[in-house]
Amino acid sequence: METAPGSEPGWLPAKLMGTIPPQDQKWISSALWKNKRLRTDLKLWYDPSEPALIYHQAPAPERFFTHRLLLWMPYHLWRVRLSCPVCGKQLTGYGAHKRARQVLDVDRYYLMITETLWCSSAGCKTSYISTSKTILDQLDLAHRMEFRLILTRKYACDIRVIRFLRERTLGNSPSRLVRQVRENHSEEWLKRVCRYLGACSDFVVQPSLHPIKFHEPPKPVAIPSHRWMLAVYGRDILSRMDHIKASITSTFGNILKIDSTKKVNIFNSCHFKILPHKQTSKIQH
């Protein structure tokens, strides 16, 4: 697809430019970089500009198909203290990572740009990505909860998509979830196509010496398969394993107990743990 006049992207790192869609390159470069350096006033979420209400020239499709951006740079944003797990020295920021990820959401994809962290110790010289488990485990709960993604090798998924699979009811399967997500994405893409074609139609009826050429809208991004969705759901279960074990092996509330003397006892607000078979006549408070 040709680039419309006036929509050429600004400066971006060469490797990062290859993983950002063309329609997002210009506004991301101006939002994050200044004089080829990361801005100091960055924020966690960025929303692109909406299409203009009135066009005096033929519109370009880029403004209609841009994506939201998640900037996951905990060191750059919050100046948190992060340590190298190898040598224990403090990690420092090393700029944006070379790859931007497309994250599957309920009705659209959005983009995520991360940062590289570097251990400058003479005997270490190890680098880490801000989305790695090594870095995420060092964040406090408030900052850790801001990262709501589940990553795989090729794709990334927003946790709001996988939450639909947690309710294990009849018919709630990964195949059904993929069909629903595909329908949501299709409706959102068609809505944006209609807005773009509607803006173009105003110029078709106007008299002109030369025919006006309009650019094709970008193609929609495919939805991953149900097998991938099931694999992501498995990763979600593993991340909540401690909570699941605690909910299975303990309860909090009123417990009715009949001991070996046939007496009925009620324990209010006690903590009950599952014990071996020979110790079932005892309750640990």
pLDDT above 50 for 277: no
Determine contact, residues 83/89, Cβ cutoff 8 Å. Answer: yes
- Domain ranges for the chain, please list them: 14-239, 250-279
pTM for the complete prediction? 0.79
Q: Could you tell me the pLDDT band of residue 260, with boundaries at 50, 70 and 90?
A: low
pLDDT above 50 for 279: no
pLDDT of the residue at 253 = 55
Report the alpha-carbon distance of residue 157 to residue 131 in Å, rounded: 13
Report the alpha-carbon distance of residue 60 to residue 76 in Å, rounded: 34
Of 25-29, 48-52, 119-123, 220-224, minimum mean pLDDT range: 119-123
Report the alpha-carbon distance of residue 22 to residue 63 in Å, rounded: 11
Residue 6 burial (C-beta neighbours within 10 Å; 0-12, 13-18, 19+): exposed
- Reported for 211-215, long-range contacts at CB under 8 A and 24+ positions apart, including other chains, are 212/58, 213/58, 214/58, 215/1, 215/2, 215/4, 215/60, 215/61
pLDDT tens for each residue of 40-97: 899 999 999 999 888 888 898 999 999 999 999 999 999 999 999 888 899 999 999 9
pLDDT above 90 for 24: yes
pLDDT of the residue at 263 = 58
Q: Could you tell me the pLDDT band of residue 155, with boundaries at 50, 70 and 90?
A: confident
Report the alpha-carbon distance of residue 77 to residue 114 in Å, rounded: 11
Residue 19 burial (C-beta neighbours within 10 Å; 0-12, 13-18, 19+): middle
Determine contact, residues 67/78, Cβ cutoff 8 Å. Answer: no
The answer for residues whose C-beta is within 8 angstroms of residue 258's C-beta and 6 or more apart is 264, 265
pLDDT of the residue at 262 = 54
pLDDT of the residue at 269 = 46
Determine contact, residues 73/93, Cβ cutoff 8 Å. Answer: yes
The answer for residues whose C-beta is within 8 angstroms of residue 4's C-beta and 6 or more apart is 60, 61, 62, 215
The answer for residues whose C-beta is within 8 angstroms of residue 88's C-beta and 6 or more apart is none
pLDDT tens for each residue of 264-273: 555 554 444 4
Report the alpha-carbon distance of residue 89 to residue 124 in Å, rounded: 9
pLDDT of the residue at 129 = 95
Mean pLDDT (the chain, rounded):
84
pLDDT tens for each residue of 166-217: 886 777 899 999 999 999 999 999 999 999 999 998 888 777 667 788 889 9
